[in-house]
Structure 1
C-alpha cells in the first residue's frame, strides 16, 4: 500500500468542504456555474473521488480498512444526532428521528427527502460505497470499459428517478456517485506534480470552462428544482435524461479540473488543518447554523455580510472545535479497542482479509 502523502488530496478535501459550507448559504450568481447541480455538490463529488483514490491502492485488510473509515463517520454522526434530538426535544418537542436513518445501513436513501439534519444523508451513501468496495470492487481492476459502463448505468438510473419525481433518491443513492468513485480507483496512482509548471494555464482553463458552461446553460430553460435543477427542452423523459447526463458531466469535469490544478500546489499547514477536520464540519455545520444565525443577525441583519460571517464561523470555527474534540477524544484508541472486540467475536474477519 502506497502511503506517500499527496497534496492534491488535502486541497480537494479542504476546498470541497468549503464549497459545501459556502454553497448552503450563497446562491446566485454562483449557482449558474455548475448547473444543473449546485456548487456544494462539487464538494461531495471531490470527497467521493478521494474515497475511490484511497481505496484503489488497498489490496488487503479490506475489513479493517472499511471499519477504520466507517467508524469516525458513524461515531460523530451518532453523537451529533443525539445532540440534535436532545435540543429538539426541549425546543420543539421533536426527536428528529430521521437523523438516525443513515446509521441503520443507510436506509435513508430510499426515502425521497433529506434527514432533519440535511447533510446527514451522506453517511448512508458513504456506507453503501464502502460496502460495495468490500464486497466487489476491492478485487476488480478498473478499466475504461468499466468506467464507461458505470457512466451509462449512472445516467440511466438517475434519469429514471428524476423522471419519477423521486429526485432526492436520485441524488442520495450510490449510483449518482458511482462513476466518480470508480474514477478515483482508476486514478489511484495519481501523484502530485514535482513543480507548479502549467498551474496558471490549468487554472485559467478551469475558469474558462465554468464561464462557458454558465453562458451555455443560461441560454436554456433551467428550472430551480432541488437537489438537481431541471433542464427543460422537451418531454419530461427527455428533460430527465439530459439533466442526468449534464449532472455526470459537471461532476466529472470539475473533479478532473480540480485534480489538474491542486496537484500542482503544495498543501501547507492551513490546508491540512481544514483537510483533517472535514467530518465534523460536514455533519455539524447545519445544526450550528440554527444556533448562530440569530446571534449573527444582531450584527448583520441580512445580506452578504451576514452570509459570509456565518460561513466563516462554520468553516473556520467549527474546524477548530473539531480539532479540539479530536485532541480530547482519542479516536484511534477507541477504533482499535472496537476492532479488537469485533475480531474476538468474529475471528474469521481477521483471517479472511
Structure 2
C-alpha cells in the first residue's frame, strides 16, 4: 500500500494544535473564532478517520474493532491511573473519566469528564459505530455533503440555543461533515503533486488573518467550547455561530490538505504521528503533575507555557513510544478479536 504522507502530517500537526491550544490563548484564538485552535486539531483527526475508512466495504466489524481497541485500551489504562492517584490525593476516583467507555454516554452530559480530552473517546466510538452500521456502504457525493452540512448546522445550532454547548461540541453531528469529507476525498482519484506548497501556505495564512479581521469587527463573546456570535436574537446568534463553526472546520481542514499533501513526512513527523493516542489522552493529567514543577523555573508567561507544551508534546511522545514498545497492544488486540469472534461468530463475516 502506498503511504500517504499528509495523513502523518495532519495527525502530528493536529496533535500539536491540541496541546498548544490548551495553553496558549490570545492572540491565536482570534484566527479561528468562534472555535479555538485546538479544535482544528480534532477536525484533522476526524477527517483522517473518514479518509481511512472511505474505501472500506468489507470486514467492517473487524476494522471497527481495530480502530477502537487502542483508543479504549490506553484510555482505560490512563483512567485507572488517574483514579488511583486521585483516590490517594483527594479521595475521589474521577468516575466521569469512565463514561466514554460506556457506549459514549458522556456526550449527553453538558460538561467534560474529569480528564477533559477523554470526551473524544465517546464521540470516536459513535463515529465508528455510525460508519459500521450505515456509512460503510455509502458513496459520498456533494449532495450528501451538503445534506450533512445542513443537519450539522441545525443540530449544533439547537444545542447552542439551548445553552448545551458541551453537548453541541461533543455529539457526532458536530463532526459529521468533516468525517464525510474525508470519505469523499478518499473515494476520489488521487492527484499527488508537490507543486503549490508555498502558495497553499500563503493562502492559508491570508485566510486566517482575513477571518480574524472579519470576526474581530463582530461582537463574539468568549465562551467555551464555542465562542458566541452576538448580532441579533439568541436564535439568530445560535444559527450564525453554528454556521461559522462548520465553515472554520471545513475551510481549515481543506487548507491543511492542500498544504500537507504536497510535502513528504519524514521520520520526525511519523514519530509524532504514531504516538498521538497517548499524548491526546494523557497530556492534561500530565499538566497537573508538571505545572508545579515548571513553576519553580518559570512562574508565568510565555516561557512557562512553551516549556509545558514541549514537555507534553515531545516528552509525552517519547513516553508513548516506550510504552508502546513495552506493551504489545497489537498482540493483545489480536488475542481479543480471536476471543470475540469465537463468542460472536457473525462478527468475523
* Correspondence for 2:146: 148
Give the secondary structure class of the aligned counterpart of 1:292: helix
Query: Which residue in the other structure is 2:16 paired with?
Result: 18
3-state secondary structure, aligned to 2:186: coil
Look up the match of 1:90. 88
Maintained 8 Å contact 2:6/2:265: yes
1:7 aligns with 2:5: yes
Q: Give the equivalent residue in structure 2 for 1:103.
A: 101
Q: Does 1:224 align with 2:207?
A: no
Write the mapping of 1:291-330 to structure 2, written as runs, cut at 5 A.
Answer: 291-330=289-328
Deviation for aligned residue 1:194: 4.7
Normalization by structure 1: what TM-score? 0.98
CA-based RMSD: 1.0
Q: 1:253: which partner in 2?
A: 251
Cα pair distance change 1:307/1:191, threshold 3 Å? farther
Deviations 1:260-313 (A, max 9, x none): 000001100000000000000000000000000000010011000000000000
Offset of 1:319 from its aligned partner? 0.3
Q: Is the 8 A contact 1:34 1:214 kept in 2?
A: yes
Inter-partner Cα distance in structure 1 for 2:152 and 2:193: 36
Separation in structure 2 between the aligned mates of residue 149 and residue 21 of structure 1, nearest angstrom: 32
Matches within 5 A, 1:166-315: 166-189=164-187, 194-315=192-313
Distance 2:195 2:185 in 1: 21
Q: Helix, strand or coil for the counterpart of 2:229?
A: strand
Paired with 2:24 and 2:188, the residues of 1 have a C-alpha distance of 32
Q: Compute the TM-score of the two structures, normalised by the length of structure 2.
A: 0.99
C-alpha distance in structure 1 between counterparts of 2:287 and 2:27, whole Å: 22
Q: Which residue of 2 aligns with 1:69?
A: 67
Query: In the aligned structure 2, how far is the partner of 1:192 from the partner of 1:224?
Result: 40
Q: Which runs of 5+ in 1 are unaligned?
A: none
Contact 1:6 1:191 in 2 (8 A): no
> How far is the alpha carbon of 1:196 from its aligned partner?
2.5
Is the 2:193–2:261 contact (alpha carbons within 8 Å) kept by the matching residues of 1?
no
Match of 1:38 among 33, 36, 39: 36
Secondary structure of the residue aligned to 2:3 is coil
**Local SS of the residue matching 2:220:** strand
Match of 1:332 in 2: 330
**Residues 296 and 306 of structure 1 are in contact (CA less than 8 Å); yes or no, is this contact kept in structure 2?**
yes
Contact 1:193–1:264 (Cα < 8 Å) also in 2? no
C-alpha separation in 2, matches of 1:324 and 1:59: 34
2:39 paired with 1:59: no
1:198 CA displacement: 1.1
Residues 121/179 of structure 1: CA separation in 2 closer, same or farther (3 Å cut): same
1:348 CA drift (Å): 1.4
- Counterpart of 1:49 (choices 47, 50, 66) is 47
